[in-house]
Structure 1
Amino acid sequence: MITIRRSNSDNGDFQALVALLDQELKERDGEEHLFLAQLNKTDHLEYVIVAYDQEIPVACGALRAYAPEVMEVKRMYVVLNKRGQGLASRVLLALEAWCKELNITTCVLETGKNQPEAIALYKKNGYQQVPNFAQYIGVENSVCFEKELE
């Protein structure tokens, strides 16, 4: 049974999942990883979701304030042996529900062109591709998305 829990970036399970995510991204992104990694710090994230399967952490995601009424979705990850089971969508929906409780109206995010599964996830969940924003402007490997929350 999958359990979704709210936490913050001090959560050890979240940090362990992020370490796995960073390892995978380093392999996928190669030399670009160093530049992108500096944009994905996990210090002081107040809004973190960790999904557990029988008390084992299997997926995560987080939110970072981006602008008034806008949150940026960060650090989405599902362990390899649990992919394809809808966990990423469950984490994303839990993050969106938290946003609504906080009166957030929009979610934005960035992912990489080397992550077609992530791109498919966001499109499937109603995110629209937008021009690269902020620090991602001019970054060839970046793809940015936005979703207006209902």
Structure 2
Amino acid sequence: MITLKRSDSNNTDFQTLVVELDRYLAIMDGDEHTFYAQYNKSDGLKYVVVAYDGDAPVGCGAIKHYADGVMEVKRMYVAPSARGQGIASTVLKELEDWTIQLAYKTCLLETGVKQLEAIRLYQKSGYNIIPNYGQYQGVSNSICFEKMLHASLSNFAS
């Protein structure tokens, strides 16, 4: 059974998963990895979700303040051995719920055009392609997404 834990970037399981993510991205991004790596620092993240299969950390994601009312989704990753089980969708939904609880209304994110599984995940989850924002403007290997979040009563049930 998959369980989720809210934490921050000091979580050692999150740090371990991010090392795996960075290795994976170094292969996928090739020559552009150095450019992207400068924007993917994980220290100081206040809002981190780690997914566990039993006691084993298998996935993660984070959100960080981008602008008034806007959170940026960062460091989404699922270990290859755990893919295909809906873990990324579950982590993303938890990040969206947390965003709403923090009184933000929008999530945005960037991923690489070669990250086909990630692109499918975001589209399936209701994210829309937007013009590249911030440091990703004019970067042809980046694709950016945005989702307007809607609070439901279930988000605030006690």
TM-score (norm 2): 0.94
**Corresponding residue of 1:9:** 9
Partners of 2:56 and 2:29 lie apart in 1 by: 28
Q: Does 1:84 align with 2:47?
A: no
Which one-letter code corresponds to 2:149 in the other structure? L
Structure 2 residue aligned with 1:94:
94
* 1:114 aligned partner: 114
Report the alpha carbon displacement of residue 63 of structure 1 after superposing the two structures with TM: 0.4
3-state SS in 2 of match to 1:42: coil
Identity of aligned residues (%): 59
Q: Secondary structure at the match of 2:114?
A: coil
Counterpart check, 1:48 vs 2:48: yes
TM-score, normalised to structure 1's length?
0.99
Q: Give the RMSD, CA atoms, in angstroms.
A: 0.5
Equivalent residue letter for 1:74: K
Q: Tell me the alpha carbon deviations over residues 66-103 of structure 1, each in whole angstroms, 9 at most, x when there is no partner.
A: 00110000000000011011000000000000011101
Structure 2 unaligned runs (5+)? Answer: 151-158
Deviation at 1:65, TM superposition (A): 0.4
Structure 1 residue 59: Cα displacement = 0.3
Deviations 1:92-132 (A, max 9, x none): 00000001110110000000011000000000000000000
User: Alignment length, in residue pairs?
Assistant: 150
State the 4+ residue runs in structure 1 displaced beyond 2 angstroms: none
